[in-house]
Amino acid sequence: MMIPQAGRLAAIGTLLHANLAARHDSIVVETAERAFTGADLLRRSAGVARVLAENGLSRGDRALFFLVGNEDALVCSLACWWLCATPVLMDFRSPAAQRRRIAELLGARLIVEQRRPSGEEQYESLIWNETWCERPAWDAPWPQQDDLDAVPAFMSLSSGTTGLPKAYVHSHQRSTGRVLDRESTGESTGGLIFTPMNLSFAATRNMVMAGLHYGARIRFASPLFSAGELVEMIAASGATACALPPPLIRNLAREVGERSTPFFDRLVMLRSIGGPASAEDKLEAYTRLSRGYVMTYASGLTGTATQLGGPDLLSHTASVGRPLRTVRIEIVDPETLRPLGTGQAGLIRVWTPNLADDVIEAAEGAPNTERWGEGWGIPGDFGRLDAEGYLTIVGREADMIVRGGVNVAPQEIENLLRKDPRIVDVGVVGIDDPAYGQEIAVFIVAESGEEADFHVLCMSLLASDRRPRIIRLVKRLPYNANGKLVRNELRAML
């Protein structure tokens, strides 16, 4: 690790530039079609930097990138840092209306797109062109530490499942801190990291940045695949590490079926990212896919806060593990923010040295950090801590259903119902009700059974104040590109 001065972390831009330069002739990134050395990535990024500068991007500016290829998104990130600008990596599937609104929210100077999406939204953009990478290099030297520290390294967006996403602002030093945290999670070795997930997903980006720092090779795969295709791609790649959201991991475990030994014998780490998983799903991933399966609790606000794997996963399956060595977690009353006792459910509050520097929101403005306390962030989930310090997620604050004054966490109902072998997937939401404030609606993807059968099941599993009034059988549930259930779309189905 490079430390420019005592107690000061290197900027992530400084760190990666040095590592890529050191791996000048070594393969660093590969796809199914191409391979890139450290020198290739730096040369290509210098060419793209010239194009961005010619189109008005300069120090302190922000640029949005909607690109299919992760290798192109990585090059564009480096290009922005050449110019002391901030890259905002976005999902290439984002609709036109959202692109325009996010550009306005963040005050973006440029939008770079793989292609212009359908729709009548009016905004200016550049269409990505591979030849940019071959342009004459930007002739300025790589920025100094102080220059990079003066601008954010990244802005990462929340999933946006409840509206326009929030933007978390990450400085170069905070981004480096999140990379170095990977030492405590067992990811500070080389090997081959395989990812089909877009770099717009902060957890994927952090894993890739850590891999580049610690000498790994990165294999970027197509983001469009079936479960069977993904199983084959991971196995054929010889990957030692991979990060996927829980729904994808669940589908992979079902694809390979019951086994006496894990299917991916070379996979040292299979990281579950981006949302909760049931205890059953965790055990299936551990036994069927990889003994290196780990569950993490993380957010764009806090970075990785906890991790669960190995023997701990078998003994505390319902939890998301214990805090990393640099992290503290408290459970607090949502109204007063006063700490609650062991085993009591409340709002999760996280202290981390790598807390996002700022949050940009469409309606509410920046978070009240004074109320949270210095270094403390509230990701918005409810949970509880046991006497050994293991954290269990109860639900999402924004998803919480209040029925007749009783708080009902959708995830608790979902986890209970998933134990029924007829149920493939399930989603729970609250809907407005004049008598109780909210009622409970359940959407089930089932291999067999009728709605009446599942009403009977709910009567046997759930207390009366937690039983759904509405049950709908559906063919599939709506997930976003990061694997998170979009509950607003469930409500729209009624």
> Using CA atoms, how far apart are residues 268 and 285, in angstroms rounded to an integer?
13
Q: What local confidence, expressed as pLDDT, does residue 296 receive?
A: 92
pLDDT tens, position by position, 10-43: 999 999 999 999 999 999 999 999 999 999 999 9
Kindly state the tokens that stand for 220: 């970027």
Topology given in CATH for the domain delimited by 400-492: GMP Synthetase; Chain A, domain 3 (3.30.300)
Q: What local confidence, expressed as pLDDT, does residue 435 receive?
A: 75
> Using CA atoms, how far apart are residues 213 and 15, in angstroms rounded to an integer?
7
Q: What local confidence, expressed as pLDDT, does residue 94 receive?
A: 83
Kindly state the tokens that stand for 346: 């409340």
For residues 362-399, b (16+ Cβ closer than 10 Å) or e, as one string? eeeeebeeeebeeebbbbbbbbbbeeeebbbbbbbeeb
Q: What local confidence, expressed as pLDDT, does residue 365 receive?
A: 41
pLDDT band, residue 122 (cuts 50/70/90): confident
Q: What local confidence, expressed as pLDDT, does residue 485 receive?
A: 85
Torsion, Cα 108 109 115 118, to 10 degrees, reads 60
> Using CA atoms, how far apart are residues 335 and 337, in angstroms rounded to an integer?
6
Pairing state between β 293-299 and 269-272: parallel
More confident residue, 40 or 180: 40
Average pLDDT value for residue range 95-100: 85
Side-chain half-sphere CA neighbours of 153 within 13 A: 27
Q: What local confidence, expressed as pLDDT, does residue 6 receive?
A: 38
Q: Are 455 and 471 in contact (CB under 8 A)?
A: yes
Which residue is listed with tokens 């593990």?
A: 321
Q: Are 424 and 448 in contact (CB under 8 A)?
A: no
297, pLDDT greater than 80: yes
Q: What local confidence, expressed as pLDDT, does residue 162 receive?
A: 47
pLDDT band, residue 3 (cuts 50/70/90): very low
Q: What local confidence, expressed as pLDDT, does residue 316 receive?
A: 96
* DSSP-assigned beta bridge partners for residue 407: 402
Residue intervals of the chain classified under CATH 3.40.50.980 are: 12-185
> Using CA atoms, how far apart are residues 458 and 265, in angstroms rounded to an integer?
39
Q: What local confidence, expressed as pLDDT, does residue 366 receive?
A: 46
Average pLDDT value for residue range 129-145: 94
Q: What local confidence, expressed as pLDDT, does residue 223 receive?
A: 82
Average pLDDT value for residue range 430-445: 89
More confident residue, 464 or 61: 61
Q: Are 443 and 458 in contact (CB under 8 A)?
A: no
Pairing state between β 293-299 and 346-351: unpaired
Q: What local confidence, expressed as pLDDT, does residue 375 receive?
A: 85
Q: Does domain 12-185 correspond to CATH entry 3.60.9.10?
A: no
> Using CA atoms, how far apart are residues 147 and 81, in angstroms rounded to an integer?
10
> Using CA atoms, how far apart are residues 29 and 38, in angstroms rounded to an integer?
8
Which residue is listed with tokens 């059968």?
A: 453
Q: Are 219 and 238 in contact (CB under 8 A)?
A: no
- pTM exceeding the 0.95 threshold for the entire prediction: no
For residues 57-72, b (16+ Cβ closer than 10 Å) or e, as one string? beeebbbbbbbebbbb
Sequence-distant (6+) residues with CB within 8 A of 441 are 428, 429, 430, 431, 468, 469, 470, 471, 472, 490, 491, 494
* DSSP-assigned beta bridge partners for residue 242: 194, 270
Pairing state between β 217-220 and 303-309: unpaired
CA atoms 82, 88, 91, 97: torsion sign: negative
As a residue count, the chain comes to 494
Q: What local confidence, expressed as pLDDT, does residue 117 receive?
A: 86
What does the mean pLDDT of the chain come to? Answer: 89
Average pLDDT value for residue range 138-161: 88
Q: Give the SS3 label for residue 150.
A: coil
332, pLDDT greater than 70: yes
Whole-number percent of the chain with pLDDT over 90: 66
Residue intervals of the chain classified under CATH 3.30.300.30 are: 400-492
Average pLDDT value for residue range 108-121: 89
- CA 444, 450, 456 angle in degrees (round to 5)? 85
